Structure 1
Amino acid sequence: MPRTVNTVTGPIDVDQLGPTLMHEHLLIGYPGWEADTLRPGPSRDEMVATCVGKIEALQAIGVRSMLDPCPNDLGRDVSLAKEVAERTGFNIICATGLYKEDEGGYAHWHFRRQVGTAIEQMAELFVHELTRGIGDTGVKAGIIKVATGVGQITDYEYSVLEAAAMAALETGAPITTHTDQGTMGDVQQQFLVDKGVPAHRIIIGHSCGSADHDYHTGILDQGSYLGFDRFGLDILVPDTQRVEALVKLLKKQRESQIVVSHDGVWCTRGEPFPQVMLDMMDPEVLMDPTHFHRRIVPRLLEAGVSQAQIDTMLVDNPRRFFAGENPPVHPAD
């Protein structure tokens, strides 16, 4: 496997990644945002300034890289990501892929499915963006993003998963997923593996949405990574539950297959999130990309987790994942 990964400013050796957050968003825009001409959202300059400020805060605590797994149909702007990366010297990896049916660009691909070409065209798109570039930006994606909803995978979402598997096999690119409420990650994993994707090339994202230890260990035992990547989003699941579930895994020495992040959304296309939603979140934590380091790491250490285990999740696992290396064999319980 190659020892390089595509960033928005070009390929780098995986050893240059350093401490890496594996699921953060510079910006998103739910499909249809452009139709609301009364609420266009922040200007490009405002978004760049916001993102530069967030990254400078990360650099101040030693973080060197991040994965922004925004799929094509959720407001992705790789030109903005490139500008931010160039201004800061920060490594940003972007994705190619499509979001889940209920909140993504379903309408376009539903039409393509009616004429029987959707899966092939999706795969062609993913391969092109991984190997040749995204539009005329010259930016190449470094990963494929897929997503499914709560408690089931729709026919459309299975189409995206199949196209992602096809592209992953052709290019060798890894896959990261979105799950809702800690469901369907095991089904995502099994489908992709059955299509030929190596399990260690898959991150099952938002696994911290579940406190089910058997669900977590089942995915780990099959060889994939867990994304404990929504720290700070207490509006969905309290961090107390995430920390408890993570500590339980770390006490069984499962750190070699876990990556961490916040799933923060730093900017939005169109109108920002409603104030009623923002009022339900801790203002000190809200979209703070340093939250894991400043507030979660001390709690992990207090619970008996070692600094070496934390470093494994932040440094070793992202490097190993993008290099395509198998995780270390886990000792028998």
Structure 2
Amino acid sequence: MVRFVRTVLGDIAPEELGVCDAHDHLFLSSPKFPGQELNDTAAARAELAAFRAAGGAAVVQWTPYGMGRRAADLPELSRATGVTLLCATGLHQAAHYTPELLAGLRGRLAEVFVSELTEGIAATGVRAGLIKVAGGFHALDAHTRWTMTAAAEASRATGAPIAVHLEMGTGALDVLELLCGELDVPGDRVILGHLNRSPDPVVQREAAGSGCWLAFDGPSRAHHATDWRMPDAVRALAEAGFADRLLLGCDTVLAGARSVDGGPGMPYLLRRVRPRLVAELGAELVERILTEHPGRAFGIDGR
């Protein structure tokens, strides 16, 4: 089997990704964030250009179905900035959608995910490269079980990875029990996001033991209270033997968090986070986390 990463401009070899922000957003809108939407194409282009100037080469956009991901704009942004982009299918928590939208997906959610992964997102020609779903705060509700069951079915059908939003960093073990236990998804096909927001080293080590990927996706304005603990958590996981399970991202969710709007944004990952981690882990491991690991985590086995 030939392994590849599915980008908005087509499939590439995993090693072609380069320095990668493994969890971010160029576009995102939700009724939970009125007036703070990421919906400005010019700002998205400027943010990508700033990331590229800082040494970045690829960004994985986790914005899923129905949240303003602007898939049609991604190929041109990728070409214009030289930054490789991945687009997600999937579904977030119910609070981000209207009841009417969710009702229209009943009975066909896995089919929608598979279609966007293989045939393309409607009217765009862009094929998704990952499935994004979400847990709840210390719990898995009926919506979570529905979306994760559909994600597992789509992952089995396509080989695509499943990226999971952990609400405030919680519920990692419950998510793994469902996805990797009940639904039989291989651990290395699951990416847990936001672990830095609940800095519990015991949970992090147990999660890593499942073989899943651990995404530490800060800094941000909203989660600065825990972002500063991330280097210690990453070092502890590496020392515990889980250095090969780590990913890094920024998770820019609101307009004010972009660097071009006064926030830390994507470049901060390379300007400030990378040097801090080099001091903790050494340059060689940090380079692998930023380059080799994303290619492995988001790789799909050709069939």
TM superposition score normalised by structure 1: 0.82
User: Residue deviations 1:281-317, cap 9 Å, x none?
Assistant: 99997142111221122222333x1111101211111
Q: Do the aligned partners of residues 83 and 32 (structure 1) sit closer, same or farther apart at CA in structure 2, a change above 3 Å counting?
A: farther
Q: Does the CA contact (< 8 Å) of 1:31 and 1:74 recur in 2?
A: no
Q: Output the CA distance in 2 between the equivalents of 1:185 and 1:2.
A: 30
- What is residue 289 of structure 1 aligned with on the other side? 266
| Partner Cα separation in structure 2 for residue 239 and residue 16 of structure 1 | 29
Letter in 1 for 2:192: I
Letter in 1 for 2:288: T
CA root-mean-square deviation? 2.6
Partner of 1:185: 172
**Whole-Å separation in 2 of the counterparts to 1:147 and 1:41:** 19
Are 1:77 and 2:64 counterparts?
no
2:87 corresponds to: 94
**Deviation at residue 109 of structure 1 after TM alignment:** 5.6
Structure 2 counterpart of 1:328: none
Q: What letter is aligned with 2:114?
A: V
Q: State the Cα distance separating 1:151 from its structure 2 match.
A: 1.4
* Distance (Å, rounded) in 1 between the aligned partners of 2:76 and 2:254: 15
Look at both structures and tell me which one has the larger radius of gyration over its CA atoms: 1
**Which shows bigger deviation, 66-75 or 243-252?**
243-252
Alignment of 1:100-115 (within 5 A): 100-102=93-95, 104-105=96-97, 107-108=99-100, 110-111=102-103
**Secondary structure class of the residue paired with 2:265:** coil
Deviation at 1:145, TM superposition (A): 0.4
User: What residue identity is the alignment partner of 2:214?
Assistant: L
Q: Distance in 1 between matches of 2:218 and 2:15?
A: 25
Deviation at residue 53 of structure 1 after TM alignment: 1.4
Aligned to 2:203: 215
Q: State the one-letter code of the partner of 1:93.
A: L
Give 1:143's aligned residue. 130
Within 5 Å, which residues of 2 pair with 1:151-162?
151-162=138-149
In 2: Cα distance, 1:150 partner to 1:218 partner: 19
Residue 28 (structure 1) aligns with: 28
Q: How does 1:238-257 map to 2 (within 5 A)?
A: 238-257=226-245
Match of 2:3 in 1: 3
Q: Which runs of 5+ in 2 are unaligned?
A: none
CA distance in 1, matches of 2:259, 2:157: 44
Which one-letter code corresponds to 1:172 in the other structure?
G
Shift of 1:9: 1.5
Contact 2:15/2:295 (8 A) holds in 1: yes
- Give the percent of matched residue pairs that are identical in Structure 1 and Structure 2: 29
> Secondary structure of 1:26's match?
coil
CA distance in 2, matches of 1:150, 1:15: 35
Q: Distance in 2 between matches of 1:284 and 1:5?
A: 31
Letter in structure 1 aligned against 2:271: R
Q: Give the structure with the larger helix fraction.
A: 2
Query: What does the per-residue CA deviation read over 1:164-194, in whole Å, with 9 as the maximum and x for residues that have no partner?
Result: 0011011111110101122112211221113
Is the aligned partner of 1:317 residue 2:293? yes
Q: Which amino acid aligns with 1:292?
A: L
Structure-2 change in CA distance of 1:41 and 1:18 (3 Å) = closer
Partner of 2:19: 19
Which segment drifts farther, 6-15 or 216-225? Answer: 6-15
Verify the 8 A CA contact 1:232 1:285 in the aligned structure 2.
Answer: no
Partner of 1:67: 60
- Do the aligned partners of 1:250 and 1:309 also contact (CA within 8 Å) in 2? no
Taking the aligned partners of 1:198 and 1:85, their CA distance within structure 2 comes to 31
CA distance in 1, matches of 2:82, 2:173: 37
Measured against aligned partners, the alpha-carbon deviations of 1:186-233 in whole angstroms (never above 9, x if no partner) come to 211221113121110110111111111110011110110111012234
Question: What amino acid sits opposite 2:150 in the alignment?
Answer: A
Whole-angstrom CA distance in 1 between matches of 2:158 and 2:207: 24
Q: Secondary structure at 2:138's aligned position in 1?
A: coil
Whole-angstrom CA distance in 1 between matches of 2:259 and 2:15: 35
Distance 1:288 1:110, change over 3 A: closer
Q: How does 1:156-175 map to 2 (within 5 A)?
A: 156-175=143-162
Q: Which amino acid aligns with 1:92?
A: L
CA distance in 2, matches of 1:31, 1:66: 25
Corresponding residue number in structure 2 for 1:263: 251
After superposition, the Cα gap between the structure-2 partners of 1:211 and 1:266, relative to the gap in structure 1 and judged at 3 Å, is closer
SS in 1 for 2:298: helix
